[in-house]
Amino acid sequence: MENKDYITHYQKDAELFSYFEEYKYEKDFNSRLHSFIKTFIKGKNNKILDIGSGGGWSVEIIDENNSLFLMDLSLKNLSEIKRNHKDRGFYIQGDALRLPFKNNSFNYIIISEVLEHINKPELIIKEAYRVLSEKGKIIITTPYEEKIKYYLCIHCNNITPANAHLHSFSIESFRRLCYELGYNNIEYYKFGNKLWTITRISYFLRFLPFWLWRAKDKVLNFILNKPNTLVVIIKK
């Protein structure tokens, strides 16, 4: 999917579907994932960029002492976030392949559930790295070894990947991608487990504190190596 087609497809999705509604099972897992992302953001007075801000969940986890920039292709999504959170943050409609920022602008950059949608994900990573400040971090999440399925698209009536997911990543494939970009200061984490998703166990454990849930998650991924999400931290 070329960049132009991706933009058109996403904007149509944003008009037809709500990124602000979550099923109860998804909501619990997403909350856990967002809590994990938050553990990598340290200190105050940081400039943080959320690329592909979707439903605007980053507004809820980022401390107000930090400056948060939310960027999305969809003006509708950004307007909804702004309305829900009373102007908390800065809102930019734009393309992640051409970030409208100077070099070394941000301490942290979040790219959550975005790369799997992009024809050439390495271009977004490269552009994010350009605007990342020294000692900054890019925090990436993406489905882990997802089996991509194909369906009839409601927009174009053609066979297209489900959820517009073009790529599936493992630690090995992501490591190769970063090696080709020349990045080697990287951490990888397996998060969640497909067993949580299939059995809905995660929903019934939603009252556990995050540290205990995460400990159980690590054990399960050690025993049954079927992670739900790959979390990648690229350091500059």
Of 2 and 149, the structure prediction assigns the larger pLDDT to 149
d(CA 224, CA 194): 9
Distance CA 145, CA 227 (A): 8
Confidence of residue 182 (pLDDT cuts 50, 70, 90): very high
Percent of the chain beyond pLDDT 70?
A: 87
Token pair of 205, please? 């454990």
**88 backbone dihedrals φ, ψ, rounded to 5°:** -75, 105
pTM value is: 0.87
Rounded Cα distance, 53 and 158, in Å: 27
| Residue 68: partners with Cβ closer than 8 Å, 6 or more residues away | 48, 50, 58, 59, 62, 88, 89, 90
Would you place residue 141 in the very low, low, confident or very high pLDDT band (cuts 50, 70, 90)? Answer: very high
Mean pLDDT of 166-183: 94
Query: How far is the C-alpha of 13 from the C-alpha of 89, rounded, in Å?
Result: 24
Q: Average pLDDT in the 22-41 region?
A: 82
**pLDDT tens, residue by residue, 67-122:** 999 999 888 888 888 888 776 789 999 889 999 999 999 999 999 999 998 889 99
Confidence of residue 3 (pLDDT cuts 50, 70, 90): very low
For residue 68, what pLDDT is reported?
Answer: 96
pLDDT score, position 203: 72
Domains and CATH numbers, the chain: 3-235 (3.40.50.150)
The pLDDT of 32-59, averaged and rounded, is 93
pLDDT bin (cut points 50, 70, 90) of residue 218 is: very high
**Least confident among 52-61, 94-103, 158-167, 214-223:** 158-167
Average pLDDT, the chain: 86
Which pLDDT value is given to residue 43? 92
Query: Does residue 123 register a pLDDT over 80?
Result: yes
Determine the 3-state secondary structure of 51 from DSSP: strand
At residue 4 the predicted structure's pLDDT band, cuts being 50, 70 and 90, is very low
Judge whether residue 136 has pLDDT over 90: yes
The span from the CA of 174 to the CA of 10, in Å, is: 24
